[in-house]
Amino acid sequence: MTVTSESSLAISGGKPAVTEPPGDLFTWPIITEADETAVLEVLRRGGMSGMDVTLEFEQDLKQWFGMPHVLCHNTGTAAIQAALWAVGVRRGDEVISQSMTYWGSSLQVFSLGATVVFSEMDPNTLTLDPSDIEHRITERTKAIVPVHYCGHPTDMDPIMEIAERHGVKVVEDVSHAQGALYKGRLVGTIGHVGAMSIMSGKSLACGEGGFLVTGDQEIYERAVAWGHYSRTGKLENPDLKPLAGMPLGGYKYRMHQLSSAVGRVQLKGYRERMTVIQDAMNHFWDRLEGTPGLRAHRPLVASGDTMGGWYAAHGLYRPEELDGLPVSRYCEAVNAEITSGFSVRGGANPLMHLHAVLNEADIYGDGKPTRIAFADRDLRQPQGSLPVTESLPERCFSIPWFKHYRPEQIDQYAEAFRKVAENAEQLQ
């Protein structure tokens, strides 16, 4: 094939595909005067450590999710830890989750004296593969933590069915997927409790913060008792009442009110902004339909699933269609086409099961790695134990996360990915 000026890759001196500067195409969160006013109001009256704005934010969130209980936290990590304790995860217990995720999905189990067992992931959704879970359940398994990874909803129906059958609770990690739908239902409202981060990188962004949402009053009250000492006076559970006044976890998880103030404003506009992002991201993938080596990481429209705000958007990479071109080399060539505004990388979060913290670290001085300090067997998972998950760093890549629907500009980015894939032989 002759190399024309259109097909000559920027990495070898051709013309880059993206010529327009990005402007605010990627800027997030979108801050307006309403956010500024809300923050200044709290700041000027010295209300940072109060509760009034946070309680209002909880009301907004209950309405948004259509759920009776929401509890705001100072981080998503804290909300997930509280949720795990509240569903009954205790010393020696096991939690099942996925290995490719931000560590805050499950690493908190160590602070509960519990441990994590990683289950395989579905290579197309990058979420838990329901067919690999059941054989990992033991009498010590207390919870499953599905992560709606990079916005993609986990296949929840079979997971709920397995959980019910084994008396295991489901804690959804919704940090990547606020507003995403699974078969038309909001993720976070399907498991026994949904917990999530809303730190400012996330698609619903408040600053630093997180919350949990649940239909179960017992779970809600236990989470209050765990990390919200100033709210324990209102608990109805007779087991918790005598303990009121001090947090059972020894943690203080109250949300900073500059965060809840921003969160309230961001939530008001979230549905609308999410729709714009969905239009933009779907436009990007529609343009790339049929490109060798590339697959969209998104559900079929007919499934009733959506990607929420497409947090940390990724694509699926199929190197066998590109003569085995490594994803890192592919991304390097795409970055040369993009030149400014966004750089992409192969892979996603580092795999948890291969990290030293999950294998060697003795964090609490038990004389054993913390992962197995209270376990009844060596449940560590060495290299080779999760072949599908371990193949994923070579089989996905980050893509630009568009915050505005500007088709002509987005087309240039899509062209960068298409051009490199269609001319991959120039990189061999």
Compute the least distance from the CB of residue 79 to ligand PLP, in Å. Answer: 8
Cα–Cα dist 234/236, whole Å: 7
Stretch that binds ligand PLP, among 19-27, 74-82, 107-115, 354-362 (CB under 6 A): 74-82
Site for ligand PLP in 187-206 (CB under 6 A): 197, 199
Whichever of 18 and 80 has its CB closer to ligand PLP, that residue is 80
Contact between 406 and 138 under an 8 Å Cβ cutoff? The reply is no
E-assigned strand segments in 199-330: 210-214, 294-296, 314-317
Residue 276 to residue 115: CA distance in whole angstroms? 40
Are 374 and 92 contacting, i.e. CB atoms less than 8 angstroms apart? yes
Q: Supply the minimum distance, in Å, between the C-beta of residue 350 and ligand PLP.
A: 13
Residue ranges in 356-375 that form contacts with ligand PLP under rule CB under 6 A = none
Confirm or reject binding of residue 309 to ligand PLP (CB under 6 A): no
Report how many residues bind ligand PLP under the rule CB under 6 A. Answer: 15
- Residue 208 or 279: the one with the smaller Cβ distance to ligand PLP is 208
> To the nearest whole angstrom, how small is the minimum distance from the Cβ of residue 354 to ligand PLP?
18
* Minimum distance of ligand PLP from residue 401's CB (angstroms): 14
Query: Which of the stretches 5-13, 15-23, 170-178, 285-293 binds ligand PLP when contact is defined by CB under 6 A?
Result: 170-178
Nearer to ligand PLP, 104 or 188 (CB): 104
Looking at residues 94 to 123 of the shown chain, list those that interact with ligand PLP (rule: CB under 6 A).
Answer: 101-102, 104-105
Q: Are 276 and 269 in contact (CB under 8 A)?
A: no
Contact between 226 and ligand PLP by CB under 6 A: the answer reads no
List, in order, residues 6 or more apart from 343 with CB less than 8 Å away: 335
Interface segment toward ligand PLP; rule CB under 6 A; list 171-179, 220-228, 288-296, 336-344: 171-179
Question: Binding of ligand PLP at residue 266 (CB under 6 A)?
Answer: no
Residue 186 CB burial class (10 angstroms; 0-12, 13-18, ≥19): buried
Residue from 142, 169, 176, 295 in contact with ligand PLP (CB under 6 A) = 176
Question: What is the C-alpha separation between 399 and 286, in angstroms, rounded?
Answer: 14
- Report CA-CA distances (Å) from 388 to 100, 122, 292, 316, 409: 11, 8, 21, 14, 35
Those residues with Cβ within 8 angstroms of residue 348's Cβ, 6 or more apart along the chain or in another chain: 100, 126, 149, 150, 312, 314, 392, 393, 396, 398
Looking at beta carbons only, is 69 or 152 nearer to ligand PLP?
Answer: 152
Count CB atoms within 10 A of the CB of residue 111.
16
Among 9, 70, 133, 147, binds ligand PLP (CB under 6 A): 147
Task: Work out how close the CB of 266 gets to ligand PLP at its nearest, in angstroms, rounded to a whole number.
Answer: 14
259: contact with ligand PLP by CB under 6 A: no
Q: 137, 168 in Cβ contact below 8 A?
A: yes
Q: Is 172 in the site for ligand PLP (CB under 6 A)?
A: no
Answer yes or no: are the C-beta atoms of 319 and 325 closer than 8 Å. yes
Residue closer to ligand PLP by CB (options 100, 224) is: 100
CA atoms within 13 A on the CB side of 408: 3
Q: Could you give the CA distance from residue 48 to residue 256 in angstroms, rounded to a whole number?
A: 6
Q: Minimum distance between the CB of residue 210 and ligand PLP, rounded to whole angstroms? A: 5
Comparison of 87 and 322: residue with beta carbon closer to ligand PLP: 87
Element holding 119 (H helix, E strand) = none
What gap in Å lies between CA 171 and CA 164, rounded to an integer? Answer: 13
Name the minimum Å distance from CB 203 to ligand PLP. 11
Our CB check for ligand PLP shows the closer of 104 and 393 to be 104
Pick from 54, 77, 98, 232 the residue near ligand PLP by CB under 6 A.
77
Tokens at residue 201, please? 């990188």
Member of 18, 25, 72, 75 binding ligand PLP (CB under 6 A): 75
Contact between residue 55 and residue 236 where contact means Cβ atoms under 8 Å apart: no
**Residue bearing tokens 């236990």:** 222
Smallest separation, CB 65 to ligand PLP (Å) = 18
Positions touching ligand PLP (CB under 6 A) are 75-77, 80, 101-102, 104-105, 147, 173, 175-176, 197, 199, 210
